[in-house]
Amino acid sequence: MFLKNQWYVACRPDDVADRPFARTLLEQPMVFFRDALGVVTAVEDFCPHRGAPLSLGFVDSGQLVCGYHGLRLAADGSVASMPKQRVHSFPCNRHFPTVERYGFIWVWPGEPTLADPEALPKFNWATDPGWAYGGGLYHVRADYRLMIDNLMDLTHETYVHASSIGQREIDEQPVRTKVIDETVVTSRVMENVKAPPFWQMAMEQRGLDPESLVDRWQVCQFHAPSHVMIDVGVALAGNGGMDAPDEAKVRAVVVDFMTPETPTSHWYFWGMARTWAVEDASVTEAVRSGQGAIFAEDLAILEAQQRSLDLNPTRKLLMLDIDAGGVQSRRLIQKLWDAEQASAGEVAHA
C-alpha cells in the first residue's frame, strides 16, 4: 500500500551529478538528472522509442540522451530531438515533480498538479546551525511498514541493540501512545538509570561524566507518508530530562526516511542530528558509524522477518500495548490511502 500524492526522499544531491541516476520508487523506475540550470528533474526511466532504460544514456546540455539511438529528452519529459527524425508526434515521458531541500532530493510520484513544495515537512535540525547531521542509506528487503513498526516501538533495543543503546530499563518502563492530528507519537522516559554504551560515548564527547546516572527519553513521531523522527537523549539525573539545560544533557534526533521500492523492499535513509560538538567532523563520523552499525542490526532482523511472513501469509500476528505506535501509524496510512483512492475515483468519473 503506497500513498502516491506525497513527497518522498528519492536520493541525495550527490547522486545526481553529471550523469543520469536511476532508482525504482513505489514500483516506478525513475531517472533523475539535472537540467541546463542544474535543477534536478525526474522522468520515467523508459525511452519512448524502443523502451531502453534512459538511465543508460548521458546528460548533454541539460537534456537526457538515450544511449541506444540518441533520442534526447527535455527536463519536462518531452522529446526534444532525435538524429534524422521528426519528433513532434513523439509522446512525452511521465515527469515527476522534484525538490532539493534539507540535503535530499524529494520526489512526488502522484498527480503532478497536486505537488506543492510548501507541503514538505520542516526540519529544524536541517536548517539550524546549532545542529550537526550525519547519515547513510540502506536498501532493505522488507515492507517499509515493518521499519515503521520497528521505529515506533523501541522495546526491541533491549534485545537487538544490547551492546549499544539497549538496556533492561526500556522493558521496565511503559510506553505511551497518542495521535495528534496526523502525527502518531510514542514516548518512554527512564529516570535515574545508567546510560548505555552509545550514550556514554556521547556524554564523554559532551564533557559529561559517562558514569553519572541519567534521565533518558525516547519520543518517536510518525508522519505520513513514511518518515519517523525520534527525539532521544540523556540528561544528568534530576536536571529535568528533555528540558534540562544544554550543559547537562546530550540530545539528538534519529532521522528515518523510508521510501518504498516494491511491496517487500524499501530505501532507508537513516541518520542522526545532534546538538553537541557540532563543528567536530570526527564526532560526526563516530556517531554516523555507530548509528550505521545499529541500523544494520535492524536491517538483518527486518529482512528475516519479511522472509518469515512470506512463508506464513495466513498467520495472524499478536498485537500488544507496545505495538500501539505501529498500529496507529498503519491506520493513518490506511486512512490517507482510502481518501486518495476516493479522490482518484471522483476524478475518473468526472
In a domain, 17, yes or no: yes
Whole-angstrom Cα distance, residue 136 to residue 207? 27
- Do 171 and 312 lie in one domain? The reply is yes
In terms of domains, do 177 and 222 share one?
Answer: yes
- What was the pLDDT predicted at 162? 67
3-state SS of the chain: helix, strand, coil percent to 5? 30, 30, 35
Q: Which residues pair with 227 in a beta bridge?
A: 223, 257
pTM check: above 0.85: yes
Same domain, 103 and 251: no
Q: Which residues have CB under 8 Å from 315's CB, separation 6+? A: 309
| Residue 173 and residue 188 in contact, taking contact as beta carbons nearer than 8 Å | yes
Whether residue 225 lies inside any domain: the answer is: yes
> Is 102 in the same domain as 164?
no
Who's near 233: CB < 8 A, 6+ residues apart? 199, 216, 217, 242, 249, 250, 251, 252
Residues 138 and 14 in one domain: no
Statement to judge: residues 152 and 285 lie in one domain: yes
Whether residue 1 is contained in a domain is answered as no
One-character DSSP codes across 315-345: PPPP--GGGHHHHHHHHHHHHHHHHHHHHHH
> Last residue of a domain, which of 87, 118, 149?
118
φ/ψ of 349, rounded to 5, equals: -95, 0
- Among 118, 145, 170, which residue terminates a domain? 118
Angstrom distance (rounded) from CA 245 to CA 80: 59
Residue 163, φ and ψ in degrees, nearest 5: -90, 0
Q: Are 43 and 64 in contact (CB under 8 A)?
A: yes
Same domain, 27 and 89: yes
Please tell me the predicted confidence (pLDDT) of residue 261: 98
What are φ and ψ of residue 54, in 5° steps? -65, -25
User: 143: which 3 cell numbers?
Assistant: 515492507
The one-letter amino acid at 261: E
Is 181 found in the same domain as 295?
A: yes
How far apart CA 309 and CA 158 sit, in angstroms, is: 23
Q: Domain boundary residue among 118, 138, 159? A: 118
If asked whether residues 94 and 180 sit together in one domain, one would say: no
* Within a domain: 306: yes
Other C-beta atoms lying within 10 Å of the C-beta of residue 319:
10
- What CATH number is attached to the domain comprising 37? 2.102.10.10
Same domain, 114 and 176: no
pLDDT tens string, the chain, 350 residues long: the values are: 799 999 999 999 999 988 999 999 999 999 999 999 999 999 999 998 888 999 999 999 999 999 888 889 999 998 878 777 776 777 788 999 999 999 999 999 999 999 999 999 999 999 999 999 999 999 999 999 999 999 998 777 766 776 777 777 767 778 899 998 889 999 999 999 999 989 999 999 999 999 999 999 999 999 999 999 999 999 999 999 999 999 999 999 999 999 999 999 999 999 999 999 999 999 999 999 988 988 888 899 999 999 999 999 999 887 877 788 889 999 999 999 999 988 776 655 55
- Identify whether 344 is part of a domain: no
pLDDT, residue 226, reads: 94
**Cell triple for residue 230?**
525520534
Q: Do 325 and 187 fall within a single domain? A: yes
Q: Is 117 helix (H, G, I), strand (E, B) or coil?
A: helix
| In a domain? residue 281 | yes
pLDDT for 236: 97
Domain that holds residue 332: 127-337
For position 273, what pLDDT does the model report? 96
Are residue 306 and residue 332 in the same domain, yes or no? yes
Q: Answer yes or no: is 347 within a domain.
A: no
Structural domain count of the chain: 2
Q: What is the CATH number of the domain that holds 135?
A: 3.90.380.10
Residue 174 in contact with residue 188, Cβ under 8 Å? yes
Burial grade of 211 (CB within 10 A; 0-12, 13-18, 19 or more): exposed
Residue 212 counted as domain residue = yes
